[in-house]
Amino acid sequence: MMTVLTEKVVLITGALSDIGRATAQAFAKVGYSVVLNHRSKADEAAQFANELVHDFGAPQAIGVQADIRIRSEVMGMFEQIYVRMGRLDVLVNNAGINRDNAFLEMTEEEWETVTNTVLKGTFMCSQEFARCYTGTDGSIINFGATTAITGRKNGANYCPARAGVLTLTKCLALELAPRIRVNTITPGRIDTEEVRLRYHTDDPEIRKDFERDVPLKRMGEAADVASMIIYLVESGKYITGQNMIVDGGLMMR
């Protein structure tokens, strides 16, 4: 049976990452019901959903399994959301993956895994959201990367995929206006588990070097990214098609 909620509902893909979790907590605090997309961690999603309700004030929170690279699973996810929640107001396309390799050694599998998750997944989830949404104040938040602008070694799959998201955002903002606003968040050096593992920033000396070029002289927190998302959804009603860079000023250099 469909449950029709008066509260707004947000779907966050890749919701069990550090930024996904911080974003879910931020939406819960401002009164949203939260849908946590995951690919294969049902128990972890269920536990986190319980925390969102009991510790952060979400009216409801549920986990929904789906591989966003597969159209049928994306469609099934949206069907579940509307059956169980009755509505959906905001989509946060947070899911992503890295499969780094030198350009000359990169395999088609490494290319396709990353581009299908980052770019195709964002495309399909956004398309299903826009097809299902019937309101007049919807919001899609996509994720870019600073390396989508600068490039980097061993990222010939990831960097172009994120660059594609930047342009996709502009296309969707034009086509879906005025009923749905579409923006990109581009995080800088954010203190997440992935960054700590990739760059070894648990080492104090490495972390100091990592922060030296940042004008605000610190790494960002996942909550800094979540705060910008909440601003765009709740307050930035005249903002669409933009890339909001949350990096402590690093990209000025």
Catalytic residues: 158
HSE toward the beta carbon, residue 25, CA cutoff 13 A: 16
* H helices present in 30-120, as ranges: 42-56, 71-85, 108-115
Q: What is the largest CA-CA distance in the chain?
A: 56
Distances (CA, A) of 217 to 34, 186, 208, 211, 251: 33, 18, 9, 5, 13
Burial 136-149 (b: 16+ CB within 10 A, else e): eebbbbbbbbbbbe
Q: Which two tokens stand for residue 179?
A: 């009923």
* SS3 track for 158-184: HHHHHHHHHHHHHHHHHHHCCCEEEEE
